[in-house]
Structure 1
Amino acid sequence: MDIKEILSFVDHTLLTQTATPEEIKQIIEDGIKYNVASACIPPSYVTFAKEAAGDKLPICTVIGFPNGYQMTSVKLFETEKALEAGADEIDMVINIGMVKDKNYSYVENEIKQLKDLCKDKILKVIIEACLLNEQEKIEMCKVVSASGADFIKTSTGFSTGGATFCDIELFKKHVDSHVKIKAAGGISSIDDAIRFIELGASRLGTSRIVKIVKSEESSGY
């Protein structure tokens, strides 16, 4: 697998609290240059990012981020405004407390409502796998499969852990065939990226892969 193919799986991401317009602009420019899948940026920057990217790069943003415990009505409002601002893809965080309470119908209904709002725009569902046990992860595979969402996603990158190979293998085994998989959080090498893709990930949420490629180019490798 060559580097151009790997980059085509990448959601080039900047979601830190301190992200500035200049840094977002750089994410967009790099995303276009390296032909990544999308740029994933904070909601407040969607209009700015969309204007910078034009039709050259899909813009992804996050909803209910990073904790997921907002009211569904708030997540719907966030989503509506993000779509109006030009977002092409939405990554939402589930209500993890409801998973712990085994209130899976609540989680499924919330996802369905956001997908109804997104229509043909891509909806990815962040289950924050590091906070769930194996049975809860399996239940979330079922919920996401039934919800109409497009992707199940491992992590926000803001909790106690990120993507693991084991989680991608588990997702691949338990999601329906129409649900794609996004690995995110802690993907720090080309080898890791390749392994995640081989295990079944269709997207990689990371900023480091583009940085590695830029570093190799500047050093002459």
Structure 2
Amino acid sequence: MNHLFPYIERTLLHPGVTINEQYEALDEVTQLGLAGLTVAPFWVKKFRRELGDTHPAVLSSVVGYPYGYQRTEAKQAEIEWALKDGANEVEVVLNTSALFSPTSVWLKIEFAKLIALAHAQEKLFTVILESSLLDREQQLKMIKLATDAGTDFIKHVTGSRQADFSLKDALLFRQDVPKSVGVKIVADGATEADMEQLVSAGVERLALAQPIK
């Protein structure tokens, strides 16, 4: 499956992640030529030192993970620290609680503030939805909101909730997101054939928490 390596991001966000596990993932990124590595905010500075400043792999960190219901100011502080520590990209979790409440107007304001903060430093920005919690109308609404705000990527789930991989849902998500915006799919449980279909459909990034075998 080496033809898929340039699309794969290793993602290490479970609460029990160890330093050895992260070094093993780093070896995969550097030896296999993977697209990137996503780590918890605590580890960004260390793995920027390990990768160096010129390595082509993207070092990403999460913000507002896993529920997204932090104050906007807290997310701003997380972004500032992640970028200062050397992240090339931030993945920000949608405040689903706000979406389900009459205050959903604040999501537009939050996206505008956070995306502007990352783009001012020429870094990538990903909005993470939790599609399993959204009906189709809500999902389409959030995709449009994130797209209009200028996000670089939209990711369909956080990966923190136990859920079986669905190729059908993943392909529909790529179809729903405008081609001007990249799509990330959490692909744990997907077969090599599934991942090939996703890439052929225009999915730019495949996030894998498990080691590549």
Which TM-score applies when normalising by structure 2?
0.90
CA distance in 1, matches of 2:74, 2:85: 16
Please say if 1:94 is aligned against 2:94: yes
Question: Structure 1 stretch 90-99 or stretch 196-205: which is displaced more?
Answer: 196-205
1:33-72 CA-partner distances (Å, limit 9, x unpaired): 1111100111100011111111223211111001111111
Paired residue type of 2:152: D
What SS is found at the alignment partner of 1:36? coil
Structure 1, unaligned runs of 5 or more: 213-221
Please say if 1:134 is aligned against 2:136: yes
Structure 1 72/168 Cα, relative in aligned 2: closer, same or farther at 3 Å? Answer: same
What SS is found at the alignment partner of 1:8? helix
Deviation at 1:211, TM superposition (A): 2.0
Deviation at 1:26, TM superposition (A): 1.8
What number of residue pairs does the alignment pair up?
A: 209
CA distance in 1, matches of 2:136, 2:45: 38
Q: Residue 116 of structure 2 corresponds to which residue in structure 1? A: 116
1:56-93 CA-partner distances (Å, limit 9, x unpaired): 23211111001111111101100100000000111110
Contact 1:154 1:162 in 2 (8 A): no
Structure 2, unaligned runs of 5 or more: none
Contact 2:124 2:152 in 1 (8 A): yes
Which TM-score applies when normalising by structure 1?
0.87
CA distance in 2, matches of 1:61, 1:163: 23
CA distance in 2, matches of 1:154, 1:60: 16
Matches within 5 A, 1:133-172: 133-161=135-163, 164-172=166-174
Deviation at 1:8, TM superposition (A): 0.6
Structure 1 163/154 Cα, relative in aligned 2: closer, same or farther at 3 Å? Answer: farther
What SS is found at the alignment partner of 2:114? helix
Contact 2:14 2:160 in 1 (8 A): no
Q: Residue 216 of structure 1 corresponds to which residue in structure 2? A: none
Question: Structure 1 stretch 118-127 or stretch 79-88: which is displaced more?
Answer: 118-127
CA distance in 2, matches of 1:166, 1:188: 11
Contact 1:162 1:184 in 2 (8 A): no
